[in-house]
A and B are shown apart, each in its own frame.
Chain A
């Protein structure tokens, strides 16, 4: 069975704080891909990053970084020096051997000025 868990329903931080969004997944597939999407208040879904199961290198893109650890089945997302524009719902997703994506329930991030 495939499953993605985002245990943090909502997080509130003050601008410039660092924040980490957790994502834990379950899969029996040996090859799989993990994704993060952002849904700002305007409602659209924006692709942020993908990672395949064979690549455990951390990735950094500006203020965003991702930590993938197969040993703990986690793919966590950190925003450094958060900004008000980072306020959104963030979704983690998994796709395995078949063509279906499995999404977590999302984490709502509130960044206050």
Chain B
């Protein structure tokens, strides 16, 4: 069972470069989320999606864009990477219903030099 798969697992970028993080889930979940995790700050929501073709801003959306063209995929883009975006990024998905927990990917460690 793959669950939630994040690609890539590690990446080093130079300031100003762009890249896309891919999240894929095989559980037919409606909701998908992108978080960043920084030391001492827990998980902060960047963007989320409540269904195919829909996206919404979270707590820290600036500098990121997302797309959900297919239900199973949620892409996170950095158009012009900045050192402040150095972080561990987690994708999560969950099914309908407030009681449903999130299922997380293993994370992407991104360093911006």
Contact = CB atoms under 8 A, between A and B. Distances in A.
Interface of A: 6, 9, 31-33, 35, 43-45, 47, 50, 52, 91, 93, 95-97, 99-101, 103-106
B107 to A, nearest CB: 6
Contact of B104 (A6, A44, A95): A44
Given A6-B42, A9-B40, A99-B50, 15 more contacts: A33-B98, A43-B107, A44-B104, A45-B92, A47-B102, A47-B103, A50-B99, A91-B42, A100-B45, A100-B48, A101-B102, A103-B35, A103-B44, A104-B42, A105-B42
Contact of A103 (B43, B48, B99): B43
Size category, B interface: 20 to 34
Interface in B59-85: none
Nearest to B97: A33
30 contacts: A6-B42, A9-B40, A31-B98, A32-B98, A33-B98, A43-B88, A43-B107, A44-B106, A44-B107, A45-B92, A45-B104, A47-B101, A47-B102, A47-B103, A50-B99, A50-B101, A52-B99, A91-B43, A93-B43, A97-B98, A99-B31, A99-B50, A100-B45, A100-B48, A101-B33, A101-B45, A101-B102, A103-B42, A103-B43, A105-B41
Q: Which of A9, A33, A91, A99 has the most CB of B within 10 A?
A: A99
A45 B62 CA distance: 25
A95 B50 CA distance: 14
Interface of B: 31, 33, 35, 40-45, 48, 50, 58, 88, 90, 92, 98-99, 101-104, 106-107
A14 to B, nearest CB: 25
Contacts of A33: 98-99
A27 to B, nearest CB: 12
Contacts of A91: 42-43
Contacts of B45: 100-101
